[in-house]
């Protein structure tokens, strides 16, 4: 459809004096003809980042009402407050799940089916929230016991970016497992923007997880982390290489990130790459570049890695 001569565009161009009708027409040609990249070639409603940010605030308030909700709640009012926050969050979530489901499959889906699936996913997600909170309490306790600078649980909830990142990850991971990968990835990016910590929603992370300081931490899609693991700032748990198909496109979904077993500490600036295993109870020192598995109880330092390289 040619829109270059519509009254609205003509008026806009005349008022602004910039010839915008030609620009708009050129963008339409790029969008509809030369570089059409719409999913299945159609215009669809995308999940809303603003709506997700608001519902995440509601969910935080439902999980920890006096810290992220109101400080003056009483035993008589707290359940009502939690219920109101959940109701607000889940009503919005159901619509956002519906929008996200359109991108979760290459098959054409009926609108009624999408709404039904969205309602089921939202219900199942809601019923996971008590278990998610239990996990988060273990993470918060790990932060309190693992950081000598922590003066209280409230300080950790209100001031620690690692806590915000793991709250959002626990929620994103649940959505990912329920079949809404785009929505889960949006939650992860909201957390990344707020904290500087980038955790893929598919990453599997056990209880009592603590990210100290946190800025620059990256945890890849197929990472598996055991219980009672601690990471410091600028740690990367990433992929070493990316296998490709014969046509050059990358193979997706294969295990390519580290397995970090229980009770491991990874210090600041360490880079751990590939599908390798860091054995239980190991300590990975600062700025180490590690691309091979290490057995349980290992203590890997930068000096040791330089010594290994000198023997090559």
CATH number, residue 284: 2.160.10.10
| Structural domain count, the chain | 3
What are 231's strand-pairing partners? 211, 266
- Burial class from Cβ neighbours inside 10 Å (0-12, 13-18, 19+) for residue 35 reads exposed
Q: Are 16 and 57 members of one domain?
A: no
Structure tokens at 198: 């980038």
Phi, psi of 216 (to 5 degrees): 85, 5
Q: What is the pLDDT of residues 127-139, one digit of tens each?
A: 999 999 999 999 9
For residues 127 and 234, state if they share a domain: no
Asked if the structure places residue 97 within a domain, the reply is: yes
Residue 149 has pLDDT above 60, yes or no: yes
Do 270 and 171 fall into the same domain? no
Higher pLDDT: 27 or 261? It is: 261
Q: Same domain, yes or no, for 246 and 166?
A: no
The pLDDT value given to residue 1: 44
- What pLDDT digit, counting tens, does each position of 181-238 carry? 999 999 999 999 999 999 999 999 999 999 999 999 999 999 999 999 999 999 999 9
Instruction: State the pTM of this model.
Output: 0.87
In a domain, 101, yes or no: yes
Q: In this structure, are 1 and 135 located in the same domain? A: no
Confidence category of residue 179, pLDDT binned at 50, 70, 90: very high
How is 126-150 classified by DSSP, letter by letter? HHHHHHHHHHHHHHHHHHHHH-TT-
Element (H, E) at 237: strand 236-238
pLDDT recorded at residue 3: 46
Range of the domain at 65: 48-197
Answer whether residue 295 shows pLDDT above 70.
yes
Please check whether residue 288 lies inside any domain of the structure.
yes
pLDDT digit string (tens) for 56-96?
A: 999 999 999 999 998 899 999 999 999 999 999 999 999 99
Q: Please give the average per-residue pLDDT across 264-269, as a whole number.
A: 98
């Amino acid at each position: 459809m040619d829109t270059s001569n519509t009254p609205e565009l003509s008026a806009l161009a005349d008022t602004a004096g910039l010839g915008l009708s030609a620009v708009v027409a050129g963008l339409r040609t790029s969008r509809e003809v030369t570089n059409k990249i719409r999913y299945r070639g159609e215009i669809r409603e995308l999940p809303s980042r603003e709506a997700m940010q608001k519902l995440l605030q509601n969910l935080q308030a439902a999980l920890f009402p006096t810290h992220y909700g109101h400080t003056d709640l009483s035993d008589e009012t707290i359940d009502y407050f939690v219920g109101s926050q959940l109701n607000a969050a889940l009503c919005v979530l159901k619509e956002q799940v519906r929008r996200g489901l359109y991108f979760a499959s290459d098959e054409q889906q009926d609108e009624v089916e999408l709404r039904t699936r969205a309602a089921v996913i939202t219900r199942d997600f809601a019923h996971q929230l008590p278990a998610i909170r239990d996990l988060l309490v273990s993470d918060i306790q790990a932060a309190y016991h693992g950081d000598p600078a922590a003066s209280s649980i409230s300080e950790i909830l209100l001031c620690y970016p690692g806590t915000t990142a793991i709250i959002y990850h626990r929620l994103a991971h649940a959505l990912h497992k329920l079949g809404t990968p785009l929505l889960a990835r949006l939650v992860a990016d909201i957390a990344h923007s707020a904290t500087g910590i980038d955790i893929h929603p598919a990453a599997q992370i056990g209880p009592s997880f603590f990210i100290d300081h946190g800025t620059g931490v990256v945890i890849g899609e197929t990472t598996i982390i055991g219980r009672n693991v601690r990471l410091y700032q600028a740690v990367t748990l990433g992929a070493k290489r990316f296998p490709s198909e014969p046509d050059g496109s990358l193979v997706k979904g294969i295990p390519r990130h580290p397995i970090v077993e229980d009770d491991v500490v990874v210090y600041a600036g360490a880079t751990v790459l590939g599908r390798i295993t860091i054995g239980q109870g190991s300590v990975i020192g600062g700025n180490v570049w590690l691309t091979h598995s290490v057995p349980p109880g290992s203590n890997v330092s930068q000096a040791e890695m330089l010594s290994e390289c000198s023997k090559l």
